[in-house]
Amino acid sequence: MRSPKTVESGRDLASAFARHPRIFSPLYVNMVRVGENSGQLEESFLRMYQYLSLDKKVRDRIKQAVRYPIIVLIAISIAIAIITLFVIPTFAQLFARSDVALPLATRAIIAVSDFMVAYWWAVFGALGAAFVFFRYWKRTEAGRYRWDKMRFQFPVVGDIVLRATLARFARAFSTMYRSGVPLVQALTLTAKALDNEYLGERVLAMRNGVERGESLLRSAAGVGLFTPLVLQMIAVGEESGQVDTMLDEVAEFYEREVDYDVENLSATIEPILIVGIAFVVLVLALGVFLPMWDLAQAVS
């Protein structure tokens, strides 16, 4: 890191940090700049530490909650691939040598297995190409915006991710506002700190409303993101001159909800996974063992 040399050359600390955007976010740089200008650099670092600690805690909780379902889905996919490529063809040869009429489920399973055995390279190639295209699409401006919006529409976890991101907005905006950053600039920096193009656009819409002379409450109500309770707390903050304190309360409110939902997320997802696994096992069992039962009766 060249920051010490940059400071030695006469630049301020914020400018030195700004030379390393992959390490220090715009929110971090501007917090340091505000601390230098106000003579409260130590307090700025303390607030950034508190904000980053809480933000990491929420992110880690969400990752921990979705890790188990992802592992289960990957394990099921591998098991189905092995059964389709290696197990089903053996049973298909056995059924082909008999005169037993095969049920629809068995014919469908054998057809899928034959296709996978013959064109497995095309299937995995298509999946790899789709993954590469998705990564490329997500890096485009339109793709990133669509993906960030779709994340909030996922069943079960989408609402949790939305509230966690809103808690991040409240923490970041409260930190900037309390440090003395102008309101319009604070909203601009907060939009960049959210790491979500869709919500960032909504926050920038709030900023545009403030620039037109609207109150923070009216601008927040116009974007359609916040619950009536949150809007009421923002109204109280504007009337009392304690917007930062009220936003901290908003962040704590969302964080409590996220903590509760994350703790109960496994209990919500497990029944869905069990039903899905049971359906797959039932289809395989009916497709494989029913013809074997008929074959055993014919032999008898």
> What pLDDT is recorded for position 87?
78
What domains sit in the chain, N to C, each tagged with a CATH number?
3-39 (no CATH), 157-263 (1.20.81.30)
In angstroms, the CA 202 to CA 152 distance is: 14
- What tens digit of pLDDT does each residue of 24-34 get? 877 777 777 77
Residue 82 pLDDT greater than 70, yes or no: yes
> What pLDDT is recorded for position 131?
93
Q: Do residues 225 and 151 lie in contact, with contact meaning Cβ atoms separated by under 8 Å?
A: no
Query: How far from chain centre, in Å, is Cα 242?
Result: 31
Which among 159, 180, 175, 193 has a CA at the least distance from the CA of 248?
175
In angstroms, the CA 243 to CA 233 distance is: 8
In angstroms, the CA 111 to CA 287 distance is: 12
User: What confidence tier does 251 reach under pLDDT thresholds 50, 70, 90?
Assistant: confident
- Over range 261-290, report the average pLDDT: 78
Q: Do residues 111 and 159 lie in contact, with contact meaning Cβ atoms separated by under 8 Å?
A: no
User: What confidence tier does 9 reach under pLDDT thresholds 50, 70, 90?
Assistant: low
Q: In the block, which residue shows the tokens 């069992």?
A: 285
User: What confidence tier does 279 reach under pLDDT thresholds 50, 70, 90?
Assistant: confident
Phi, psi of 40 (to 5 degrees): -125, 50
In angstroms, the CA 18 to CA 43 distance is: 19
Give percent of the chain above pLDDT 90. Answer: 5
The larger pLDDT score, comparing residue 233 to residue 295, is at 233
In angstroms, the CA 110 to CA 103 distance is: 11
- What tens digit of pLDDT does each residue of 85-142 get? 887 787 777 777 776 677 777 788 888 888 888 888 898 899 999 999 999 998 888 8
Kindly write down the DSSP assignment for every residue of 96-125, as one continuous string. HTS-PPPPHHHHHHHHHHHHHHHHHHHHHH
Provide the mean pLDDT of the chain.
Answer: 80
Q: Do residues 258 and 234 lie in contact, with contact meaning Cβ atoms separated by under 8 Å?
A: no
> What pLDDT is recorded for position 80?
80
For residue 150, the 8-state DSSP code is: H
In sequence order, the 6+-apart residues with CB closer than 8 A to the CB of 73 are: 273
Q: Which amino acid is at 189?
A: L
Query: How far from chain centre, in Å, is Cα 22?
Result: 21
What stretches of 83-211 show up as alpha helix (H) in DSSP? 88-96, 104-139, 141-151, 157-178, 183-193, 197-211
User: What confidence tier does 277 reach under pLDDT thresholds 50, 70, 90?
Assistant: confident
Cα–Cα separations (whole angstroms), residue 9 to 4, 19, 112: 9, 14, 68
In sequence order, the 6+-apart residues with CB closer than 8 A to the CB of 276 are: 76
In sequence order, the 6+-apart residues with CB closer than 8 A to the CB of 92 are: 110, 113, 114
> What pLDDT is recorded for position 1?
46
- Over range 230-252, report the average pLDDT: 85
Residue 68 pLDDT greater than 80, yes or no: no
> What pLDDT is recorded for position 275?
85
In angstroms, the CA 25 to CA 19 distance is: 11
- What tens digit of pLDDT does each residue of 184-229 get? 888 887 887 777 888 888 888 888 988 888 888 888 888 887 778 7
